[in-house]
């Protein structure tokens, strides 16, 4: 177990604290009404008609989907889920510039949660400068776009709250009481938020708009943290970093239907992503120093592809050709070719660093990553991997969110868009 991949003691996270005092119900209701006024059902109906944001090849297009992209039967997808734009590429809605009308007028910003500073640094990517610092709850871990794209949720893990940010104005709203929100996802039908309650050892399904608990599911593992959904939305796979497990969860039933231990002693799985065709699932493992590859439908034993020390974050290029893998323990980014399955590049950050979580710019030219142990953010060219900028931020930067990004709706984390 390489010592370089072990987190420093100061960043050991998630000791359980008492639930914070409840905010006034009326204030919460007002916040949710203003932030999430479009219901999942209404927006799904618009998406199903092909009039949804990003449905065409260019920003604002309202072109209907090609007939070939429709499922063969009505039960091919999770009920209420907008079908993929392409039958062979789940990321087809994420092309450069394909911004939803919902987000098209939002200023482009990089939102950086600083776990040790209890702040969010806001960066203007045009100037590579921090233009705003927001004080939020205790130990913010990730900044997560809501399913309807209208709100950014700051996950205050040890503060037991979610702080909403209006991406149109940059203003934060009244925090909403949510226990142990280490990470946050949304079901593809827009009905539920799924809180990765790591300390509580639970997957907590909440109403996506009111954040009221619908069902709490025991995780059966330690350290639930990251996930991704199958192309049909019927299941998702979750990584458990402290026990080295993977979970397979039935979306509609809200039940864990399978579990397996990764075949590496001391495994610490992190980010999860599926290939564009949905056939291969990739799971970064910071102790195995690579990514696991598995068949999600069969949930078979995965194989390890070694990428570098402390493999952590996984990000898909705008053309769906490559997967960017941040190797936090050695300050590098590996590039995987989806077509061949081979590693084609390794980009080293000059002088070292600790690249962690982030996202790709809307035009696809820049990969933005937080520097977890260096209080900085990296802007990296996706053309050749050179470092464009190194920006000082608060202490312990983690789940960085690039916003807005192309896509019709958000599945959560720092930006998984479909």
341/339 Cα distance (integer angstroms)? 6
76/153 Cα distance (integer angstroms)? 31
Three-state DSSP at 133 gives: strand
Edge-to-edge order in the sheet of strand 129-135: 129-135, 119-124, 109-114, 401-403
CA 389 to chain centroid, in Å, comes to: 23
Residue-wise pLDDT for 167-176, tens only, equals 999 999 999 9
pLDDT for the residue numbered 73: 64
Let me know if residue 47 belongs to a domain: no
Burial label, 235 (beta-carbon count in 10 A; 0-12, 13-18, 19+): buried
Distances from the Cα of 143 to the Cαs of 42, 243, 334, in angstroms?
25, 25, 24
Let me know if residue 81 belongs to a domain: no
Three-state DSSP at 371 gives: strand
What DSSP letter does each residue of 241-283 carry, written as one string? TTTTEEEEEETTTTEEEEEEE-SSTT--EEEEEE-TTSS-EEE
Residue-wise pLDDT for 211-240, tens only, equals 999 999 999 999 999 999 999 999 999 999
Are the CB atoms for 123 and 391 separated by under 8 Å?
yes
Let me know if residue 163 belongs to a domain: yes
CB count, 10 Å around CB of 9? 6
Let me know if residue 288 belongs to a domain: yes
φ, ψ (nearest 5 deg) of residue 290 = 180, -165
Residue-wise pLDDT for 12-42, tens only, equals 343 333 333 333 333 333 333 333 333 344 4
- Tell me 47's DSSP state: H
Residue-wise pLDDT for 58-96, tens only, equals 333 323 333 344 455 657 999 999 999 998 999 999 999
- Tell me 70's DSSP state: S
Q: Which helix (H) or strand (E) holds 360?
A: strand 355-360
Residue 408 has pLDDT above 70, yes or no: yes
Residue-wise pLDDT for 94-113, tens only, equals 999 999 999 999 999 999 99
Edge-to-edge order in the sheet of strand 213-218: 183-186, 192-197, 202-207, 213-218
Nearest to 267 by CA among 282, 285, 293, 291: 285
Let me know if residue 66 belongs to a domain: no
pLDDT for the residue numbered 72: 56
Q: Which helix (H) or strand (E) holds 378?
A: strand 376-381
Q: State the average pLDDT over residues 328-346.
A: 98
Least confident interval from 69-83, 144-158, 344-358: 69-83
pLDDT for the residue numbered 39: 37
Residue-wise pLDDT for 226-275, tens only, equals 999 999 999 999 999 999 999 999 999 999 999 999 999 999 999 999 99
Greater model confidence, 397 or 14: 397
Contacts of 415 by beta carbon, 8 Å cutoff, 6+ apart:
145, 359, 401, 402, 403, 405, 407
Let me know if residue 84 belongs to a domain: no
**Token pair for residue 85?**
């734009």
Let me know if residue 69 belongs to a domain: no
Are the CB atoms for 257 and 250 separated by under 8 Å?
yes
Contacts of 394 by beta carbon, 8 Å cutoff, 6+ apart:
112, 114, 116, 117, 119, 121, 133, 375
Are the CB atoms for 216 and 209 separated by under 8 Å?
no
Let me know if residue 82 belongs to a domain: no
Find the CATH number of the domain harbouring 273. 2.130.10.10
Greater model confidence, 16 or 192: 192
Give, rounded to a whole angstrom, the gap between the first and last alpha carbons of the chain.
36
Least confident interval from 2-6, 281-285, 379-383, 408-412: 2-6
Token pair 């309202």: residue: 62
Greater model confidence, 399 or 9: 399
Contacts of 12 by beta carbon, 8 Å cutoff, 6+ apart:
none
Q: Which residues pair with residue 236 across a beta bridge?
A: 229, 249
What DSSP letter does each residue of 142-204 carry, written as one string? EEEE-TTSS-EEEEETTTTEEEEEETTTTEE---EE-SS-SEEEE-TTSSEEEEEETTTTEEE
Domain count, the chain: 1
pLDDT for the residue numbered 75: 78
Domain range for 248: 101-403
Angle CA 405–411–413, to nearest 5: 80
pTM of structure: 0.85
User: What is the 3-state composition of the chain as percent helix, strand, coil, each rounded to the nearest 5?
Assistant: 10, 40, 50
């Amino acid at each position: 177990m390489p010592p370089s991949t072990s987190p420093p003691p100061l960043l050991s996270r998630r000791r359980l604290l008492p639930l914070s005092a409840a905010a006034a119900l009326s204030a919460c209701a007002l916040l949710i009404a203003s932030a999430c006024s479009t219901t999942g059902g209404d927006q799904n109906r618009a998406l199903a008609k092909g009039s949804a944001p990003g449905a065409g090849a260019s920003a604002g297009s309202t072109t209907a989907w090609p007939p070939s992209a429709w499922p063969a039967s009505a039960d091919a997808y999770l009920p209420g889920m907008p079908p993929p734009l392409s039958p062979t590429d789940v990321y087809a809605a994420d092309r450069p510039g394909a911004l939803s009308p919902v987000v098209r007028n939002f200023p482009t910003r990089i939102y950086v949660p600083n776990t040790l500073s209890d702040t969010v640094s806001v960066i203007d990517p045009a100037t590579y400068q921090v233009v705003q610092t927001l004080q939020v709850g205790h130990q913010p871990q990730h900044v997560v776009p809501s399913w309807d794209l209208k709100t950014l949720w700051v996950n205050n893990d040890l503060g037991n709250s979610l702080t909403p940010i209006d991406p149109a104005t940059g203003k934060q709203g009244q925090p909403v009481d949510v226990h142990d929100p280490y990470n946050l996802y949304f079901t593809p039908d827009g009905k539920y938020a799924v809180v990765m309650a790591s300390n509580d050892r639970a997957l907590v399904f909440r109403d996506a708009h009111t954040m009221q608990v619908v069902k709490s599911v025991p995780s059966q593992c330690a350290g639930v943290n990251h996930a991704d959904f199958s192309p049909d939305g019927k299941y998702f796979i979750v990584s458990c970093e402290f026990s080295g497990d993977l979970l397979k969860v039935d979306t509609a039933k809200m039940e864990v239907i399978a579990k397996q231990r990764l075949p590496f002693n001391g495994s610490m799985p992190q980010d999860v992503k599926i290939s564009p065709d949905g056939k291969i699932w990739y799971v970064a493992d910071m102790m195995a120093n690579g990514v696991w590859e598995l068949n999600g439908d069969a949930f078979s034993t995965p194989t390890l592809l070694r990428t570098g020390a402390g493999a952590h974050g996984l990000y898909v290029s705008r053309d769906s050709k490559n997967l960017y893998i941040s190797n936090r323990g050695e300050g590098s980014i590996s590039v995987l070719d989806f077509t061949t399955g081979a590693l084609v590049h390794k980009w080293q950050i000059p002088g070292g660093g600790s690249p962690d979580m982030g996202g790709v710019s809307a035009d696809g030219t820049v990969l933005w990553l937080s520097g977890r142990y260096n209080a900085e953010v990296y802007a990296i060219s996706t053309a050749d991997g050179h470092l464009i900028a190194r920006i000082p931020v608060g202490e312990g930067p983690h789940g960085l969110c690039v916003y807005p990004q192309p896509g019709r709706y958000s599945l959560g984390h720092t930006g998984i868009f479909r």
